């Protein structure tokens, strides 16, 4: 009998689906010294974990071997509907063609002054005079939700309830009922707006989604709604975690924070990219391999769960020197933090603009920013909602008010 790849595990006593793995980067580095992939426990079964930059990048581009829809149809479709992530081929290309032009790089730079900076200032105004705050609870949690809410042109007085829906959609794996309720309530709230904006379009994202076409096709209401629902978990929560991770890295590396503060215009964009490399918010992305395949020398059995370890790929010593050092002078754009191939992140340039603006405004307004004594444990980046996503739980900081 031929040996099956999944017959033996490379690591035991952990679960890559549910548990925060202490010192995950050290474990991934250890596993990678043996092979470019590992067989690991995942929700009671065995998964293939891809560990190198080369394999993770190749796997993202190979949609036919590892179709995103195989996972997203089971995990997110029941609550978000049939989003871009559940689509394939022409359906995906056309829906993406309508929905994503406003997020292109050349469009997004125009959002910074009128949209992003005022939101950052508005949030900081609420706590700046106090001299201390938890930046997760009082800034990073709210900032990206407000960005999306205002891009959609939703009334400002509804932002508290929009924030609750965004929160409940994010915690879907923990509380599916609350997420389903949030999805229904958001749908009931936003559906009349689709008709209104079709009749009288403005310059907001909803108006664009209901009036634009791609290859001669328009989106129907359900396609628009599922894209809008996806924007919260895909666009707001990832950005929230990314900002927390970069702030956590800077606050625990005072030399890097000092370098950044010495010239914000020069260093902030690179601090953002290095933050994404050092601790990408989507760290361990689950996929599946539906059919048996011999792929890059790995004999993968049918129906094998896969994990694309973006966080291992971005610390691969074959690509990054001193990979475990947080160094903002590295000056590398790490696009892999946003996936690759046909389903790569549609909002990456918006995310970069949001992160750069927020970081710059925070450091301008909060001079002498530092962690409060005893705040280190909460500032540590850990798994959030399962293991795919990573971020700090709290950032208790002080500054010279």
Which of 84, 363, 381, 388 touches ligand HEM (CB under 6 A)? 84
67 binds ligand HEM (CB under 6 A): no
Which of 338, 369, 383, 395 touches ligand HEM (CB under 6 A)? 338
Interface of this chain with ligand HEM, residues 185 to 244, rule: CB under 6 A: 230-231, 234-235, 238-239, 242
Which of 41, 67, 275, 347 touches ligand HEM (CB under 6 A)? 347
**Smallest distance, Å, CB 392 to ligand HEM?**
15
102 binds ligand HEM (CB under 6 A): no
**Smallest distance, Å, CB 244 to ligand HEM?**
11
Which of 210, 282, 314, 369 touches ligand HEM (CB under 6 A)? 282
- Output the six-digit token pair for 47: 């998964």
Contact 47, 9 (CB under 8 A): no
Strand partners for 50: 37, 308
Q: What is the DSSP letter of 282?
A: B
C-alpha closest to that of 32 among 400, 394, 361, 316: 316
Nearest 5°: phi and psi at 273? -65, -40
**Smallest distance, Å, CB 344 to ligand HEM?**
6
Query: In Å, what is the CA distance from 296 to each residue of 6, 54, 238, 335, 375?
Result: 16, 10, 30, 22, 44
21 binds ligand HEM (CB under 6 A): no
85 binds ligand HEM (CB under 6 A): yes
Binding mask 235-254 for ligand HEM (x = CB under 6 A): x--xx--x------------
**Smallest distance, Å, CB 99 to ligand HEM?**
7
337 binds ligand HEM (CB under 6 A): yes
343 binds ligand HEM (CB under 6 A): yes
Number of residues located near ligand HEM, criterion CB under 6 A: 26
Of 10 and 204, nearer to ligand HEM (C-beta) is 204
Strand partners for 288: 305
Contacts of 216 (CB under 8 A, 6+ apart): none
Sheet bearing 370-371, strands edge to edge: 132-134, 396-398, 370-371
**Smallest distance, Å, CB 287 to ligand HEM?**
7
Contact 289, 252 (CB under 8 A): no
The count of residues in the chain is: 401
Contact 206, 190 (CB under 8 A): yes
Contacts of 268 (CB under 8 A, 6+ apart): 260, 356, 359, 360, 363
Q: Which residues bind ligand HEM (CB under 6 A)?
A: 68, 84-85, 96, 103, 230-231, 234-235, 238-239, 242, 280-282, 285, 337-339, 343-347, 350-351
């Amino acid at each position: 009998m031929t040996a099956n790849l999944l017959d033996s595990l490379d690591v035991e006593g952990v679960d890559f689906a549910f548990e925060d793995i202490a010192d995950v980067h050290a474990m991934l580095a250890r596993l990678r010294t043996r092979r470019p992939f590992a067989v690991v426990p995942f929700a009671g079964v065995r998964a293939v974990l891809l560990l190198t930059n080369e394999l993770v990048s190749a796997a993202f581009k190979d949609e036919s071997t590892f179709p995103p829809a195989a996972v997203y149809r089971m995990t997110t479709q029941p609550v978000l509907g049939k989003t871009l992530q559940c689509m394939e081929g022409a359906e995906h290309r056309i829906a993406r063609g309508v929905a994503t032009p406003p997020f292109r790089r050349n469009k997004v730079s125009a959002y910074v002054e009128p949209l992003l900076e005022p939101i950052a200032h508005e949030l900081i105004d609420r706590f700046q005079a106090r001299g201390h705050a938890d930046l997760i609870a009082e800034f990073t949690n709210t900032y990206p939700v407000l960005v999306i809410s205002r891009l959609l042109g939703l009334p400002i007085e509804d932002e508290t309830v929009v924030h609750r829906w965004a929160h409940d959609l994010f915690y879907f794996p923990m509380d599916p009922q609350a997420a389903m309720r949030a999805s229904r309530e958001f749908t009931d709230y936003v559906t009349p707006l689709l008709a209104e904006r079709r009749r009288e379009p403005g310059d907001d994202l909803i108006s664009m989604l209901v009036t634009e076409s791609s290859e001669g096709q328009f989106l129907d209401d359900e396609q628009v709604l599922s894209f809008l629902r996806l924007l919260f978990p895909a666009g707001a929560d990832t950005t929230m975690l990314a900002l927390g991770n970069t702030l956590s890295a800077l606050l625990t590396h005072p030399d890097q924070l000092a370098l950044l503060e010495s010239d914000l215009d020069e260093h902030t964009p690179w601090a953002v990219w290095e933050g994404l490399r050092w601790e990408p918010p989507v760290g361990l992305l689950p996929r599946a391999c539906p059919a048996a395949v011999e792929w890059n020398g790995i004999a993968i059995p049918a129906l094998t769960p896969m994990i694309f370890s973006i966080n291992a790929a971005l610390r691969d010593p074959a690509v990054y020197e001193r990979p475990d050092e947080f160094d903002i002078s590295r000056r590398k754009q790490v696009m892999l933090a946003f996936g690759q191939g046909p389903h790569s992140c549609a909002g990456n340039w918006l995310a970069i603009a949001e992160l750069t603006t927020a970081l710059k405004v925070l450091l301008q307004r909060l001079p002498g920013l530092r962690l409060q004594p005893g705040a280190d444990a909460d500032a540590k980046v850990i798994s959030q909602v399962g293991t795919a996503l990573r971020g700090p739980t709290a950032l208790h900081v002080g500054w010279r008010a």
